[in-house]
Structure 1
Amino acid sequence: MIPISGMGTQVGLNLIDATREKQLTLIAKTAQNARAIQGFRDRIGSVQTVDDLMADQDLYAFVMRAFDLEDQIFGKGLMKKVLQSDLSDPKSLVNRLTDPRFRELHKELAFVANGTFTTRTKQKYWQDLTVDRFVERAFINGAADQNESVGDILEFRERVGGVKTWFDVLKKPALGRFMRRALGIPDEAVRLDIDRQAKLFEAKYDIKKLQDPAELRKLERKFAAISDALDTSRLQQNGAIQMLTGILNASGGGQFVPITLDLEAISSLPRSPYR
């Protein structure tokens, strides 16, 4: 991937957006990913049961990565039970787990009869979509590994369409982190129980606004600005700040200390009647 480590959030995001299609193509063509994609296309059509999928480690790992479940690859026992669950039964395991990724995987693989049959894996359009998922996930994870704030924005874009309630936000750590920072909610709020966190968000923001593309861009800009303001390492790398610090030190004036101002709050203050 194009390096974005050490960049400001907005600068890194702009670079990612400008080179997105090229980077997706390059990711798909790396030797390791190209082999994995070809192996998936060659063998996924023969998978009809959960046991078939579990028996092919490379195929199973590919599917798990495509659905953002890489952290669960070694939990085969749990995954088998999840995929054998009855999606229509509210009491089944897949519906009792709070992480929406499990339900999404089950729905997309479409195993029925306790995981003993599916026709989804033979459908070319589904295979193509799963390959796209795999490449997209590699793209997001690669960006996040270099620049966590950029990764959080990409994760927000990926998931925000499925957000209906604040619980949907809180189930995904990156989404929760994004919304807390964009709305000015302290990270310490994660120590509260999930119901209190949801009420805190409700009091702060109308979740229906997330349906407005302009509002999403506004949240991204606020998140980027706050993230960079909180990142002291980037402040130290800022050329203007380094120059000011050097001038102050040379004149015996001490050290330049940057401060963060809440411009939105300031702009909302009543204007002086004497202007």
Structure 2
Amino acid sequence: MTFQPLVPLSGPGGWSFLKRTEAMQSATFARQPAIQRDEAYFRGKIGSVRTAEALVNDRRLLRITLEAFGLEADVNARAFIRKVLEDGTLRQDALANRLTDKRYLELSSAFGFGDFSVPRTVLSDFPGEVMTRWKQQRFETAVGGVDGNLRLALNARRELASLAAGSSSETTKWLRILGDAPLSTVMRGALNLPRSTAALDLDQQLSAMRSRAAAVFGADTISQFKDSSTVERLIQRFLVTASFGEGSGSANSALTLLQQSRSFLRRL
């Protein structure tokens, strides 16, 4: 039987319940036979993979790998993923460095095929690193099957913390959010901006979000979300807005985009 996360409430109440039970529920989720079989397969095979070609030629390994980085919709884009991996991250003109979607950079850096003579796949702790990411991503997907807004909240909690800690400029960080449908949905809901702002030109959207963030959170920076309590305030505000209908209409479409590849970001 497939484990389905238990979320008896929607909105802030459901979020509070999910946070309280997240460790227990995610552990139960990870004990499912299908999850354990995929984990065993990855752990048993990945140490012998020394090239990007070998990885992309094993469809099961490739699927699990891409799921770990939220890129599962690219499972058929083998040539593209191979190029991302083989280019590595050390050269400025490496493909992963030229893509706006930095999940590809994380993927290439994690495996190290293009950066080192011996890839990181041979390290004893490498399978555990990837499996931790993979099980988190799979659990979030399962939560989305019950409540799409809560999956958006889990995604925002993880992605905002990573984005806030990055070294990019504040403008670049805001543009990353504007180019990410799930994150921008959460941000617009938390800032109580109407959906129509998404139709404005990029400069106007950026100005509206930064101005409203300063009014709501006290600063117009993404770096302020290094503070987990600020992230929590944002999520609570988003869920309240969504529960009153302002954000719920766009949540399903954003969730669909979250489940698919945001491949248009590659070309920005």
Q: Deviations over 1:94-135 (max 9, x none)?
A: 22221111111011111126xx95431122222111111111
Count of aligned pairs between the two proteins: 230
CA distance in structure 1 between the partners assigned to 2:29 and 2:188 by the alignment: 31
Matched, 1:177 2:192: no
Alignment of 1:58-77 (within 5 A): 58-77=60-79
186, 196, 208: which one aligns with 1:200: 208
Sort the Cα spacing of 1:77 and 1:202 in 2 relative to 1 into closer, same or farther, 3 A.
same
Query: RMSD of the alignment, in Å?
Result: 2.1
SS in 1 for 2:93: coil
Alignment of 1:130-145 (within 5 A): 130-145=130-145
Displacement of 1:225 in angstroms is: 1.0
CA distance in structure 2 between the partners assigned to 1:155 and 1:73 by the alignment: 21
- Match for 2:5: what amino acid? I
Matched, 1:112 2:120: no
Task: Name the structure 1 match of 2:59.
Answer: 57
CA contact (8 A) 2:88 2:96 kept: yes
Q: Deviations over 1:135-157 (max 9, x none)?
A: 10011111122211111110111
CA distance in structure 2 between the partners assigned to 1:212 and 1:158 by the alignment: 12
Q: Identity of paired residues, percent?
A: 24
Displacement of 1:188 in angstroms is: 2.3
Question: Highest relative contact order (Cα 8 Å, sep 6+), 1 or 2?
Answer: 2
Q: Deviations over 1:142-179 (max 9, x none)?
A: 11222111111101111112224212322322111111
CA contact (8 A) 2:88 2:109 kept: no
CA distance in structure 2 between the partners assigned to 1:64 and 1:145 by the alignment: 20
Q: Which has the larger radius of gyration?
A: 1
Displacement of 1:18 in angstroms is: 1.8
Larger CA deviation: 37-46 vs 193-202? 193-202
SS in 2 for 1:24: helix
3, 7, 13: which one aligns with 1:4: 7
CA contact (8 A) 2:186 2:238 kept: yes
234, 237, 240: which one aligns with 1:222: 237
Return 5+ residue gaps in structure 2 as ranges: 165-172, 214-219, 249-268
Moved >3 Å (runs of 4+): 192-196
CA contact (8 A) 2:177 2:184 kept: yes
**TM-score normalised per structure 2:** 0.79
Return 5+ residue gaps in structure 1 as ranges: 234-275
